[in-house]
Structure 1
Amino acid sequence: MKKIFLICLSSLLIMSDLAAQQQTMVVWPGEVPGATKEKQAMVKDLTTEPGVIRITEVTNPTLEIYQPVGAGNGAGVIVCPGGGYALLAYDKEGTDIAKWLAKQGFTAYVLAYRVPGKQDGALQDVQRSIRLMRQKNKQLEKVGVIGFSAGGSLSARAATRFNENTYPKVDAADELSCRPDFALLIYPAYLDQGNERTLTPELTITEQTPPMFLFATSDDFHANSALVMAQALRDHKIPVELHLTAKGGHGYGMRGAPAGLLWPSWAEQWLKEFVKK
């Protein structure tokens, strides 16, 4: 009987822990700015890529919250999954990453931003999310973003367009800054859409642009995005760390070797040093 009790207690604790990590909140409590459809449940595709949760439509953006494991380090991160702005690789480039960050002491929010084809809406979603994280976690000293592929593009846009008012104010959260204190762009895409594959014109680098960590592989079609961003940051004397390895392709998250094993270790060290500052 005692053994059964302990097993049940253990199960309850595990369930409680999971529940604490999987709380969600809506980004827009009322009308979604610029919405063309009514709010509805996210549409998921579990069949196209085995072992990956692909969200193919988001009309009601949400944040899935992962609290730090143990003592928090005073920093939070918005996680932006990729998917070409057409869908979201929600677990491989979202919840997997949030769990990894939580183990390092970060408060992590996985952003389900609007897809498909809602680039302007996605920028509104991430700006609002940064503000919400600051409002809901006043103890956080720093708030950053991490993104993958199109999520890397979105994170770069958040890190360079924070002075733009992209939506009407909703509540007190929108009085807060949407400038991220740091950004990590992992195999980012669409950053080289300027003339002759230079920096995309919407991405304006200034002295206020936050420090960035960039990772890509040379066999990735989108690798030039990381290169032009790193050069633009360096030209403006913004701290940047760039890692370019030979092989890995694109879209591996933390799951594919060797690239999916390399970038987390380098990013973890960069984050530790940055949080100390």
Structure 2
Amino acid sequence: MTRWLAALFLLCVAAPASARSETINLWPGAMPGSGTVTGPEKIGSEGVATGSVSNVTVPRMVVVRPRKPNGAAVLVIGGGGYFRIQIGSAAMPTAQWLAQRGVTAFVLYYRLPGDGWSSEVPFQDGQRAMRLLRGNWKTLG
């Protein structure tokens, strides 16, 4: 019985909320803030939180759309102490949970000071994401 419930939970959390996946880049041109990151984006496993992301070079939002949208939208910003973003264990399950309830969720991948960016860039990325959502809510949501 316990295995069955665990499998059902994983199915509900892992099931895609929509048929299509969209990514919206935050900065079409030059990004504000200073710092640079070299190398590819890293997805953590073994020794770090599974599904955590670091070394973000392209700040973006991943859209998780519900099958039956209710008109609401939420920006989901995963934590991680400014040296990783808890996408797999926190942000994406939250977005999928919201989508199952009709809410369009936007999961933010933002630049991190722990990767070499200046301390203001996470705020700039968050503010830009909110501006994009508020300015384009009719077409995005």
User: What whole-Å deviation, never above 9, does each CA across 1:151-203 have from its counterpart, x for those lacking one?
Assistant: xxxxxxxxxxxxxxxxxxxxxxxxxxxxxxxxxxxxxxxxxxxxxxxxxxxxx
Give the structure 2 partner of residue 123 of structure 1. 123
Distance across 2 between alignment mates of 1:73 and 1:119: 36
Give the structure 2 partner of residue 181 of structure 1. none
Contact kept in structure 2, 1:68 and 1:107, CA below 8 Å:
yes
Q: Which amino acid aligns with 1:121?
A: V
Pick 1 or 2: higher relative contact order, CA cutoff 8 A, min separation 6. Answer: 2
Superposition deviation, residue 135 in structure 1? 3.2
Give the structure 2 partner of residue 46 of structure 1. 45
Contact kept in structure 1, 2:111 and 2:121, CA below 8 Å:
yes
Q: Which has the larger radius of gyration?
A: 1
Distance across 1 between alignment mates of 2:102 and 2:122: 27
Structure 2 residue 60 is matched with structure 1 residue 31: no
Give the structure 2 partner of residue 97 of structure 1. 94
Contact kept in structure 2, 1:32 and 1:60, CA below 8 Å:
no
Which residue, 73, 76, 85 being the options, matches 2:73? 76
Superposition deviation, residue 30 in structure 1? 1.0
Mapping of 1:251-266 within 5 angstroms? none
Distance across 1 between alignment mates of 2:30 and 2:38: 8
User: What whole-Å deviation, never above 9, does each CA across 1:190-225 have from its counterpart, x for those lacking one?
Assistant: xxxxxxxxxxxxxxxxxxxxxxxxxxxxxxxxxxxx
Distance across 2 between alignment mates of 1:132 and 1:47: 35
Identity %: 33
Q: Secondary structure at the match of 1:96?
A: helix
Distance across 2 between alignment mates of 1:119 and 1:38: 14
Which consecutive residues of structure 1, in runs of 5 or more, have no partner in the other structure? 1-13, 142-277
Mapping of 1:215-226 within 5 angstroms? none
Distance across 2 between alignment mates of 1:84 and 1:73: 33
Superposition deviation, residue 139 in structure 1? 6.4
Contact kept in structure 2, 1:74 and 1:139, CA below 8 Å:
no
Superposition deviation, residue 40 in structure 1? 6.4
Distance across 1 between alignment mates of 2:74 and 2:103: 7
TM-score when scaled to structure 2?
0.74
Structure 1 residues 110 and 140: CA distance shift in structure 2, 3 A: closer
Distance across 1 between alignment mates of 2:135 and 2:59: 17
TM-score when scaled to structure 1?
0.40
Distance across 2 between alignment mates of 1:76 and 1:39: 33
Moved over 3 A (4+): 38-41, 116-119
Q: Secondary structure at the match of 1:100?
A: helix
Superposition deviation, residue 88 in structure 1? 0.8
Contact kept in structure 2, 1:68 and 1:102, CA below 8 Å:
yes
Structure 1 residues 42 and 65: CA distance shift in structure 2, 3 A: same
